[in-house]
Structure formats: structure tokens, C-alpha cells
Amino acid sequence: MDLSTKYNGLKIKNPIIVGSSGLTNTVEKNKKLAENNAGAIVIKSLFEEQIMNEAYSDMKNNAEMYAEAFDYITNYSKEKSLEEYLKVIEGTKKAVDIPVIASINCTTASSWTKFGKKIQEAGADALELNISNLPTDIDRKSADYEKVYFDIVGSISKEISIPLSLKLNFYSAGLSNLIRTLDWTQKVKSFILFNRFYSPDLDIDKLKITSSNYFSNEGDYTRTLRWTALMFGNVEAELIASTGIHSGESVIKQILAGANAVQVVSAIYKNGPEHIGIMLKEIEDWMQKKNFKTIDDFKGKLSYDSVENPTAFERIQFMKYYGGIE
């Protein structure tokens, strides 16, 4: 059984990638994930805001600081965060023999893109950008929000030659068109569908805003499944499925829809790194039963373009499915 596949153009031994999170923020943890057979690792994101916030809080704590000192502190904070981050990349690269992908969570195409070069020099095999672009500003049009993606891709591409992947969210009025147009830039090697945002919740006793569960649940994979199936065959870049993938079965579904590989986070938080092996065994057993020898044997077999009645992927109204339930 050959479970190998491609991720950012790199050969990976199996389709289970550990997604960017607290699971991947130290060399030790990354070593353990590799020992447990992860196909690749995306290191915990360096946050554009984190860098800026650190600079800002230093400034607040030093009210009488001279103007020149502020510049120094700002740069120092950037360097410090970055230095620690680069050490994790370098150390992980030395400790494991699987691809190591760096990650930056960003919102603008500002000076952070210069860090891309250093990330590449530290040995990262690729760079993933988690573009946090939530269209909340009522005065901004969809096109203004979409432009941010192109600005960032253009800017970072000038700094790096390693493959670039984009971890997208689904908050876009013209999502398929946006993904395809980003693909046309030929600067994006893979699209990660989708990021899972922190979501607010409300406490009805304390009448306060709270946070909802950080972790996804088994079954949360269906939104990704729809968009992977819809985009497969429409973009040259790879599709990597993310969110709600907790079992070998949900990995198989995403590959059938057209994904090259998947990213897993919550299931590993809940069950430990050993869960990777359990998921891989489920995939192998299923492939054996179905007589599939490689991932390519079944990749995209149930994508939008391959099934007889693809409208099921497009349907969102209730009538047919829920109309009869009483």
C-alpha cells in the first residue's frame, strides 16, 4: 500500500499533516509527531498581530520612553519573536525527516513579508499563510477584502522561492472565483480549505460574551468536503482539506472529494499523537478492501466533476431533504 502524496509539490509519505497549532510549537513536540508517522508538520504560526502587539505593550509599559527608543523596542520585539520562531524551524528540520512548513498568520501586506526570507533561510520547506480576513467592515466591499489576498501573495512572493500555501477561510461572497483567480497568479502551490476561526459565544447567566469551543468536532468536515469537491479540477494548485477531520474515514472522504492531503489538529489534541497511526491504519484497511493501491487511485473520484449528480454539492435549500421530516 502506497500512501504517499504531494504537499506543496513535496513528496510526503502519507496524507496526514499536523496543522499549525500549539501541537507544533516546539522541536520536542514536532519530533514526537514525526515519530508517530505524521506526513508533514506545519509549525505554530507567527502572528503579524502578535509582533505588533508585543511592540505596542512594550510602549505602554514605558510611558516616558524616548521616541528613538520606541523604534528600537519595536524592532527588538520583532527580532525576538522571530528569532525564537526561526530556532523552532531550524531545530525541527534537524530532528525530523519530513517536510516542515512555517506559518504566518497575517492580515495585511506590510513589513512582515520581509521575514519570509529569514524563514526560508532557516530551512522551512514551504510557507503557509493564514490570512485572517473577516469581512466585518460594513463600509468595505467584497472586492476590497479580496484585494488583500492578492496584495499579500504578490508581496511575499518577492521575498521567498520556497512553495507558498494559503490557508483560506470561507467568508467570501465569490469564493470559487476568488480561489481560481488566486490560482491564476501561479504563486500559490496549495490551498488549505479551511481555517477554523475562534468564534464568540454568549453566557446567558452572566450576560457576557465568551468564547466557543476551540476544538472542532467529528462531523465538522462537511463544509470542507463540499468546497474541495467543487474546486477539484478547477485549480492547478493542490487542495488540502482542514477542519473537522478526526478519523481515517474523514481523510478518505476528503481525498475522494479531491484533496491531496489533510491537516489535523483537534483530533490530535483530543487523542494524542498516537491517533495519527490509528487514522493511517483505517485508511490502509479501507484501501485494501477497495483494492486501491495508491492515493491517486481514488483521489477526486467523488469530486463535483466525477459524480453523476453533482448538484448535491451545490444544494443548500432544505426542501427535498428536510421537507419530509416531521
Ligand X SMILES: Cc1cc2nc3c(=O)[nH]c(=O)nc-3n(C[C@H](O)[C@H](O)[C@H](O)COP(=O)(O)O)c2cc1C
Spatial CA neighbour of 17 closest among 205, 192, 166, 189: 192
Nearest distance from C-beta of residue 122 to ligand X, angstroms: 17
Instruction: Rank residues 223 and 306 by Cβ distance to ligand X and give the closer one.
Output: 223
Q: How many helices and strands, by DSSP H and E, does the chain display?
A: 12, 13
Q: ∠ at Cα 198 (196, 200), nearest 5°?
A: 135
**Using rule CB under 6 A, residue 45 touches ligand X:** yes
- Burial code of 35-60, b = ≥16 C-beta within 10 A, e = fewer? ebbbbbbbbbbbbbeebbebbeebee
> Least separation, in Å, of the C-beta of 194 and ligand X?
8
Give the nearer residue to ligand X in terms of CB position, either 200 or 323. Answer: 200
What whole-number distance in Å separates Cα of residue 148 and Cα of residue 165? 15
Q: Which listed range, 18-26, 27-35, 78-86, 285-293, lies at the site for ligand X (CB under 6 A)?
A: 18-26
CB of 44 to ligand X, least distance (A): 5
Per-residue b or e along 270-307, where b marks 16 or more CB atoms closer than 10 Å to that residue's CB: eeebebbeebbebbeeebeeeebeebeebbbebbbeee
Binding residue (CB under 6 A) for ligand X from 105, 120, 165, 228:
105
Q: What is the CA radius of gyration of the chain?
A: 21
Tell me: does residue 287 bind ligand X (CB under 6 A): no
**Distance in Å, CB of 128 to ligand X, minimum:** 7
**Cell numbers describing residue 105:** 498568520
19 or 99, CB closer to ligand X? 19
Of the residues 5, 8, 14, 20, which one makes contact with ligand X according to CB under 6 A: 20
Q: Does 132 bind ligand X (CB under 6 A)?
A: no
Residue 64: all three cell numbers together: 516616558
Is 167 an interacting residue with respect to ligand X (CB under 6 A)? yes
What is the x/- site pattern for ligand X, positions 247-276, by CB under 6 A? -----------------xxxx---------
Q: Which residue has the cell 529569514?
A: 118
Rounded-to-10 torsion of CA 57, 60, 62, 65: 110
Considering only residues 195 to 234 of the shown chain, the ones binding ligand X according to CB under 6 A are 195-196, 214-216
For CA atoms 12, 16, 20, 22, the dihedral sign is negative
Whole-angstrom Cα distance, residue 314 to residue 227? 9
* Total site size for ligand X, rule CB under 6 A: 23
93 makes contact with ligand X (CB under 6 A)? no
Told to check if 30 binds ligand X by CB under 6 A, we report no
User: Which listed residue (14, 133, 243, 303) binds ligand X by CB under 6 A?
Assistant: 243
Question: CB of 221: closest distance to ligand X in angstroms?
Answer: 8
Q: How far is the CB of 319 from ligand X (least distance, A)?
A: 30
Q: Read off the DSSP letter of residue 198.
A: -
Least distance in angstroms from the C-beta of 192 to ligand X: 7
Residues in contact with ligand X by the rule CB under 6 A: 19-22, 44-45, 103, 105, 130, 167, 195-196, 214-216, 242-245, 264-267
